[in-house]
Amino acid sequence: MAQTSAKPAITPTGPPLPLIGKSDTKPTWCPGCGDFGVVAAVEMALKKLQIPSHNVVIISGIGCSSNLPHFLNSYGFHAIHGRSLPVAEGIRWANHGLTVIGTGGDGDGFGIGVGHFIHTMRRNVDMTYVTMDNQIYGLTTGQASPTSTIGQKTKSTPNGVIEHPIDPISLALASGATYVARGFSGDVKQLADLVAGGIQHHGFSFVDVFSPCVTYNKLNTFDFFRQRVYKLESAGHDPGDIVAAFARSLEWGDKIPIGLFYRTERPTYEDLEEVLSAGPLALQKSGLKGQDALLDEFV
Amino acid sequence: MTEIGVRVGGQAGDGIASVGETIARSFSRLGLHVFGLNAYQSVIRGGHVYYHARTSTQRPYSQGDGLDILYALDRQTVDVHAPGLRNGGYVVFDPEKFAVSASELPAGVTPLPVPTLEIARKYTSQSILQNAGGVGAMAFLAGIPLDLLHQVLSDSFGRKKGDVVDWNLGASADAFKYAEAHASVHPSAVKKAGAPKLLMTGNQAIALGAAAAGCKFLAQYPMTPASSIMHWMADHSRALGIVVKQAEDELAAINMAIGASFGGVRAMTATSGGGFALMVEALGMAGMTETPVVVVESQRAGPSTGLPTKTEQGDLNMMLGAGQGEFPRAILAPSNPAEAFHHMIRAFDLAETWQTPVLVASDLHLSENHMTVDRDELPFTVDPASLFTVTPNAHEYKRYQYTPSGVSPRALPGQPGLQFIAGSDEHDEKGHLVSDVHSGIPVWVAERTRMMDKRMHKLDGILAQSLPPVWEGPADAPLTFVAWGSTVGAIRDAMVVLAAQGRATNLLFFPTVFPLNGKGIHDTIAKTHRTLLVEANFTGQLGRLLRAEAGVVFPERFFKYDGEPFYPHELVARALEVLNHGAN
């Protein structure tokens, strides 16, 4: 098996290159939005890991949270609704020297994009996926999302949600993700550590973030989570134990766990794709000039 | 012109396609041009299937009309195909399975019973070996030398050695000799004509063309008739250094290709109409983010699941209109494998030069049938330029900078100091959103108009670099066929037949279906005497496009939507009808 290294895509020469920072675009989220904590955590994580900004690509879908790439000065791809992960996979496979981070919301990732979510995890693509889960559709002004609570009244469910919510953590565990964590945008320091751990992790890392919508979700507020969350690392949870991770993922009510649920090592898609063992695809020779012998198979 | 049509028919699972391909490849090894039609159904076992190989001293561009040698593995094949046999023809069958009498065959056609099962039993209890007997008898009748047949058979087993190969060689030789003792070679039997030709399907030519163009990434979801593009690419992935990804669906496939292109490689996807319908939104994203991507759309008969294994040209409207809003695109339409190879190279060049999606319209008839190509028709001369074209740390880099051509400098992630956001929202020159934040503010309203103008202006450049419509045949002919895509093949063959009858016709076809030079087409159509629009669809989608773009109408039409390809004789009949009946 070829182990793909995380060396820079294009070896820079000259003075040290700048680390990630804020872009010249100011976030457009509502004052008090949970997503401010997430963009801060992503920035902190990348700074902590000393990854220069030109080697980072942040890919998002559509939704309030998917505007995140605009607020940092890395490369970014603000894709269409639900499709951030396949775009991110394509970027990773074209240049696996890049640090690739997917960002988006619960509607984007667990509604319209849930098929890609599952398949990206089973492939163990070496990237990080951070979801800002506010349990509501914000940008379309407050409809139920796949993670909305049963009974919750929204614009699309005036009599209350009647569908069981998706649990992203259990789904990730079942789908073969090799790093599964949950953060809270009310605890940026822990969240930054979880994101940094995910970026460092060799394989697909998933960080679901309670990122309250202060405008459209009056149920799952900052206070709601502050009263309920507890940290797995303080509760003696062993992140190497997938059965324990499943059990913790099912906890919901007065006590809700945050932190690292599960971590394991498995070869990544890039490790197993033989073509990538020759280095980032974008730097490999392309074309078949002079390879006329290839036509012999058609004789 | 001497030609011979050889056909094998039976049930799906009988190995019909490999029998047919063996005969087709024997012809191409003899240096003959071949068209091989593989007719099948959407079942893996059972159901009637056949393969027809046509070779001719004049290069065939379609399956043609004539049948001379029929190998029937079941009685149904005799019932369906024997009435089409020409004088001097043969029906090869095994009398152990069913009987065929001379009285039920057309005049001058001979039944040739060959004990293929009995021969097979000499070697194995596996009845599939009867096909080797059938191939041997057909080869004798068609004039294929036994040693050449054996070479083709051995090669078809690749590096496999042992009993199976020996049984096939033995059984085919026995049947060849049996036929030699009981029949004479067909009067139109072939002779060696020169150096071996290449036999390939349209899809193989598409994949080969993509690889020659420097494609490094293919993401695809299986769908007939596009799947074999992925099969060829997957087989050659390691040798050629091309990442081939079978995606979870077509949504993922095109988004992966767009991601890979953004990441710095030439990338493509391929599908049929149903899958392309799922790709539509991402196609617009490629247009908006100005990311090159090549999409092959191999059409099959619709609507909905339609006829999965039958051909049609019913998706042109969808290709033209795919995507909300407006963005520049090109649609190329090869008519045969040699053209498909070159169109793929052109598609990648256009996509990269103009940073926008390019569609290549194929169809089942082109994608899955065999045609021969001469070696020098497929030159491997492309030396793809590096995509790293922007100087790192360029001062005030603007990814979507306004330029006279509409094409902006394209940085790739990993290049220091050039970071930008590719946005599916409307954006300014630097990639900043203007969609949500700036609505109604005059400066941003103007910005939106300018950015649309910039993108759409690329169509002028694409048109200037695209292949113009092609004329074939004598100028000033009294009838002009108008067509696109694989339909061109049967028209070329029909024109030969018409010319032999003293009826001159010519052909206008469209290697580039979009964009078009409307004025030029208007003027060129104005010079024709009479036109006949030929399309494999119900509504005449090219005709509608030409009416919109060039203001021309086509009163005489021949539209087919039964899933079957055009046959030259149908086109001849329709052309004569138009030529012989008054002014239009």
Q: Which CATH number goes with the domain that contains A233? A: 3.40.50.970
Q: What is the mean pLDDT of residues A153-178?
A: 98
Query: Rounded mean pLDDT of chain A?
Result: 94
What is the rounded end-to-end Cα distance, in angstroms, of chain A?
35
B551, B522 contact by CB (below 8 A): yes
- C-alpha to C-alpha distances, B335 to B203, B288, B355, nearest whole angstrom: 12, 30, 25
Distance CA B312, CA B299 (A): 6
Q: Using a CB–CB cutoff of 8 Å, tell me whether B433 touches chain A.
A: yes
> pLDDT of chain B along its 584 residues, tens only?
689 999 999 999 999 999 999 999 999 999 999 999 999 887 777 789 999 999 998 899 999 999 999 999 999 999 999 999 999 999 999 999 999 999 999 999 999 999 999 999 999 999 999 999 999 999 999 999 999 999 999 999 887 778 999 999 999 999 999 999 999 999 999 999 999 999 999 999 999 999 999 999 999 999 999 999 999 999 999 999 999 999 999 999 999 999 999 999 999 999 999 999 999 999 999 999 999 999 999 999 999 999 999 999 999 999 999 999 999 999 999 999 999 999 999 999 999 999 999 999 999 999 999 999 999 999 999 988 888 878 776 678 999 999 999 999 999 999 999 999 999 999 999 999 887 666 678 888 889 999 999 999 999 999 999 999 999 999 999 999 999 999 999 999 999 999 999 999 999 999 999 999 999 999 999 999 999 999 999 999 999 999 999 999 999 999 999 999 999 999 999 999 999 986 54
Binning pLDDT at 50, 70 and 90, where does residue A1 land?
A: very low
The pLDDT value given to residue A13: 58
Confidence of residue A8 (pLDDT cuts 50, 70, 90): very low
Show the tokens assigned to B487: 């339909």
Q: Does B217 touch chain A (CB under 8 A)?
A: yes
Would the CA dihedral through B114, B118, B122, B124 be positive or negative? positive
> Assign residue B355 a region: left if phi > 0, alpha if psi is -120 to 50, beta otherwise?
left
Task: Examine residue A274 and state whether it is found in any structural domain, yes or no.
Answer: yes
Structural domain count, chain A: 1
- Work out the minimum CA distance from A275 to partner chain B, whole angstroms: 5
Check residue B234 and give its pLDDT.
Answer: 98
Q: Is the CATH code 3.30.470.10 the one for domain B3-196?
A: no
Cα A144 to Cα A290: distance, rounded to the nearest angstrom:
58
pLDDT at A15: 67
Cβ-based contacts of B423 with chain A (< 8 Å): 70, 78
Q: At what angle do helices B442-465 and B337-354 cross, to 10 degrees?
A: 150
Diameter of chain A by CA atoms?
73
Q: Given CB atoms, is A27 within the 8 Å cutoff of chain B?
A: no
From B308, B294, B144, select the one nearest B229 (Cα to Cα): B294
Domains of chain B by residue range: 3-196, 200-377, 470-580
Classify residue A194: in a domain, yes or no. yes
pTM score above 0.80: yes
CB contact under 8 A, B257 and A90: yes
**A246 Cβ neighbours under 8 A, 6+ residues apart:** A170, A173
Q: Which letter does DSSP use for residue A110 in this model?
A: I
What residues in A contact B425, CB-CB < 8 Å?
78
Give the residue ranges of DSSP H helices in chain A: 35-48, 84-94, 106, 114-123, 168-175, 188-200, 222-228, 242-249, 269-272
What distance in Å separates the CA atoms of residue B386 and residue B352, rounded to the nearest whole number? 11
Residue A46, min C-alpha distance to chain B (Å) = 15
Asked if the Cβ–Cβ distance from A276 to B243 is below 8 Å, we say: yes
Q: How near does any CA of chain A get to the CA of B420, in Å?
A: 5
Min Cα–Cα distance to chain B from A234, Å: 39
Yes or no: say if B336 and B202 are a contact pair by the CB < 8 Å rule. Answer: yes
A73, A298, A299: best mutation site toward chain B, by most B Cβ within 10 Å? A298
A24 belongs to a structural domain: no
Residue A14 lies in a domain: no
User: Are B219 and A90 an interchain contact pair (Cβ–Cβ within 8 Å)?
Assistant: yes
Contact check, Cβ <8 Å, B416/A12:
yes
Chain B residues with CB under 8 Å of A85 CB are 252
Per-residue pLDDT tens digits for A195-227: 999 999 999 999 999 999 999 999 999 999 999
Provide the pLDDT for residue B249.
98
Residues 276-295 of B with CB under 8 A from A: 281-282, 284-285, 289
SS3 state at B304: coil
Q: What domain range includes position A55?
A: 35-298
Asked, as a colleague might, if the bond just before B328 is cis with ω within 30 of 0, I would say no
Beta-carbon count within 10 A of A133 CB: 29
C-alpha torsion A203→A209→A215→A216, nearest 10: 80
Angle between helices B163-182 and B130-142 (to 10 degrees): 50
Q: Kindly state the tokens that stand for B366.
A: 């082109």
Q: Using the predicted structure, report yes or no on whether residue A134 has a pLDDT greater than 60.
A: yes
Domain B200-377 listed as CATH 3.40.50.970: yes
Q: What are phi and psi of B232, to 5 degrees?
A: -65, -45
The string of DSSP letters for B26-66 reads: HHHHTT-EEEEEEE--S-SSSSEEEEEEEEESSPP-S--S-
**Strand A128-133 with B67-72, pairing:** unpaired
Asked, for residue A85, whether it belongs to a domain, the answer is: yes
Number of A–B residue contacts, CB under 8 Å: 220
Q: Does A59 touch chain B (CB under 8 A)?
A: yes
Residue A90 in any domain: the answer is: yes
pLDDT at A16: 72
**pLDDT tens digits, residue range A56-93?**
999 999 999 999 999 999 999 999 999 999 999 999 99
Q: Per the domain annotation, does A13 fall within a domain?
A: no
Distance from chain centroid for Cα A263: 15
Which residues 117-156 of chain A have a CB within 8 Å of chain B?
Answer: 119
Nearest to B380 among A79, A289, A298 (CB): A289
Contacts of A83 (CB under 8 A, 6+ apart): A61, A113, A116, B251, B252, B255, B281, B282, B285
Residue A111 lies in a domain: yes
Looking at chain B, which residue has its C-alpha nearest residue A61? B424
Q: Does B206 touch chain A (CB under 8 A)?
A: no
Does domain B470-580 match CATH 3.40.50.920?
yes
How many Å lie between the alpha carbon of B411 and the closest alpha carbon of chain A?
10
Cα Rg for chain A, rounded, in angstroms? 20
> Torsion-angle region of residue B195: left (phi > 0), alpha (psi -120 to 50) or beta?
beta
Does A92 contact B204 at a Cβ distance shorter than 8 Å? no
From edge to edge, which strands make up the β-sheet containing A75-78? A229-231, A256-263, A179-184, A205-210, A128-133, A99-105, A56-60, A75-78, B421-423
- Number of Cβ within a 10 Å radius of residue B564: 18
* Contact check, Cβ <8 Å, B421/A87: no
In this prediction the ipTM stands at 0.96
On whether the CB atoms of residues B261 and B335 are closer than 8 A, the answer is: no
Q: Is A3 exposed, middle or buried (0-12, 13-18, 19+ CB in 10 A)?
A: exposed
SS3 B180: helix
Q: Cβ of A90 and B263 within 8 Å? A: yes
- The pLDDT, as a whole number, for residue A3 is 40
Contact (CB<8Å) B216/A281? yes
Q: Closest CB to A87: pick one of B255, B380, B423.
A: B255
With contacts defined as CB-CB under 8 Å, which chain A residues touch B211?
Answer: 288, 294
pLDDT, residue B394, reads 67
What local confidence, expressed as pLDDT, does residue A4 receive? 40
Note whether B200-377 and B470-580 share their fold.
yes
Check residue A186 and give its pLDDT.
Answer: 98
